[in-house]
Structure 1
């Protein structure tokens, strides 16, 4: 993005943030440099800037120490338009600030520094513009994985172990503080969201129907998907519903590879991960996060041949951490977990229709304003996407998910 923000993102602002986060009023910022972190189409609800600040602070007497610190500024859209309107109506920034400064902070403390789920929130500004300042995870060695062909088994296993810790810690927190459940009830699919949110899913699904009309192997499903498109958001609402008698957790709410950063050893093998973007957290069935990940992020080989390994890793870790945290709630058995996922299979279908193509397409062209205002949605010219959909569509049809 163009860094027009420099009128307010200046030495004074950065000094205020550092004094607040470090608890040290002697901090004097001497220089800052700014760089955009995301490209068009990478991040739909915010603009993200990295600040590298040089500053000094008092030690003893007249002695000063100098340091450099890198931070991430996540800014709510400032340019007037459909994107700004939607993000404001959704309350994304308020939700993320609440999650990170309260619930997630407590979850991190339960798990300890070895298994941190997220970076630290350093500063919240509620207007002119609305923004969050977050710890920069890049200096700690975390970065995005290559998303062009999906995550391999090693990345996927790490991600699901991390998700299991997230879910287990949320159960422990909700047992101690039941009101936490009420703080996270919106998520992505909710009747209270503005119509523009629904339109994104409708337009994406219609674009899929148009696309597969050109694929001889599955073109017969094009008409069904076209008819389904106007109802797809309500199907998502129904699949996301909270049932108190089920096993429930606080879901990340948008658990896919763009929101998982990995750390690597010298051989390039992933050894750790951490999560970002907590704007859509929701208390509901863990099937939401599991379907989000399984239907958007693993490679074709992993999801086709190693799904059982991922579910075993998730459940083993979930059970172990819940026991370690002395949760009274019992984790599901594998049989129950598979039943939970099957009951909400329509949620996985929607992720395949609408999130998977974003993950597999080139990092170009479309942003949220384009999609809302013009309905433009470019499906990726990706063999992986086509192969997956050719395999999945007959299954969705067999399960009755394509019928109204």
Structure 2
């Protein structure tokens, strides 16, 4: 991943001066490196900038150091069309520079210490589109291991912050409904671009082709999976449909392990959490975030044993946060959340088919680092051959079948 030529000392100095409101800043040294491993960047390029600079404080010159993240919209590659036509990067710039600061201010003004995301230092809407963000690594935050999946402690910490995110969006919507409703197109929308519409049935087809070689599954399941891709996106749109009479929030839209960071105590227990990557945030039912999370992020023991506990924790945190924020909107009951999860369950199934294989696959072990840099559809096809994915799916697919979720007529139940 080559460093953009424009990302140099002069440009970083200009951005720091604007962010810090201090024209005395002078950059003396800049180091730029990829912020994530090859093969992990799906729709953006991330760079970590280590900057040494001087400034004038109280009449004397002082030297300081800072680490920031620069996130750059991709220019080429297999997902560029999807990102460009769906305006993913524009959505994130709007979220980071406008909406999230307002949500954060609502939380802070009501005495809530929760933080939702990294601080946004700068955005550029013209090409090359990019963001300058706080480096959460400096504050002690780390990514969890997506292949191991999240244990119960991680899940509960994440759900508490997701509840506060949703509650803050409700409070913001009560002040300015358009501020949240303007994010009006999720990944499942009849007006989405062809690249998105074709993505999910294509991944279901990849799964069906691989499962055909799994003798541990019944022929009936293999036959159902072979038929499932036809009309799948339309049924996904039904499952994700915005209903004005529902309890709706601004969703994160992409709640999986790689889009959150945790901070730990001295016993390595997660105690704090931040969200990353707001490129497909949209106004919808909050259960879509829950279903996305369940499809992609907990380890399999948590999936089997603690699903209801996690939902209860989310609901309790949402109810508490909405009360603290003095929301006039009536919050959903636990029974309503549970019923909505059941009715929209196909959404989870589709994400399990399309995102979970990527979450569980060790791309670097299957291909060279050079190949990983040029991520493509064939690499995704390899992910369906992962042993860990196969182990999880041979347990989950019979469960989905028993619930009728592999039947081709299923949508919003």
CA contact (8 A) 1:74 1:132 kept: yes
Report the 3-state secondary structure (helix = DSSP H, G, I; strand = E; otherwise coil) of the residue aligned with 1:114. Answer: coil
CA contact (8 A) 2:78 2:375 kept: yes
CA contact (8 A) 1:208 1:379 kept: no
| Distance apart, 1:356 and its partner CA | 0.9
| Distance apart, 1:330 and its partner CA | 1.6
Aligned to 1:121: 120
Q: Deviations over 1:210-232 (max 9, x none)?
A: 11112223252223222221322
Mean Cα displacement is larger for which, 34-43 or 20-29?
A: 34-43
Q: Does 1:2 align with 2:2?
A: yes
CA contact (8 A) 1:360 1:380 kept: no
Separation in 2, partners of 1:106, 1:148: 34
| Distance apart, 1:199 and its partner CA | 2.4
Q: Deviations over 1:326-352 (max 9, x none)?
A: 111122212111100001000010111
Aligned to 1:101: 97
Q: Does 1:318 align with 2:318?
A: yes
Q: Deviations over 1:121-146 (max 9, x none)?
A: 11111233111111111000001012
| Distance apart, 1:42 and its partner CA | 1.1
Report the 3-state secondary structure (helix = DSSP H, G, I; strand = E; otherwise coil) of the residue aligned with 2:204. Answer: helix
TM-score, with structure 2 as normaliser: 0.92
Structure 1 segment 129-144 matched on structure 2, within 5 A: 129-144=128-143
Aligned to 1:66: 63
Q: Deviations over 1:142-188 (max 9, x none)?
A: 01012222111111110111111111111111111111233111122
Where structure 1 has 5 or more consecutive residues not aligned to the other structure, the ranges are none
> 1:376/1:59 Cα in 2 relative to 1: closer, same or farther (>3 Å)?
closer
Say which of 44, 56, 73 aligns to 2:42: 44
CA contact (8 A) 2:169 2:250 kept: yes
Q: Does 1:334 align with 2:334?
A: yes
| Distance apart, 1:189 and its partner CA | 1.6
Separation in 1, partners of 2:386, 2:316: 34
Separation in 2, partners of 1:72, 1:318: 31
CA contact (8 A) 1:44 1:367 kept: no
Mean Cα displacement is larger for which, 181-190 or 151-160?
A: 181-190
Aligned to 1:19: 17
Structure 1 segment 186-265 matched on structure 2, within 5 A: 186-220=185-219, 221-265=221-265
Separation in 1, partners of 2:49, 2:39: 21
* Number of aligned positions between the proteins: 398
Q: Does 1:388 align with 2:392?
A: yes
Separation in 1, partners of 2:237, 2:275: 25
Say which of 370, 374, 384 aligns to 2:376: 370
CA contact (8 A) 1:44 1:368 kept: no
Separation in 1, partners of 2:135, 2:386: 32
| Distance apart, 1:198 and its partner CA | 2.2
Aligned to 1:358: 358
Separation in 2, partners of 1:381, 1:321: 42
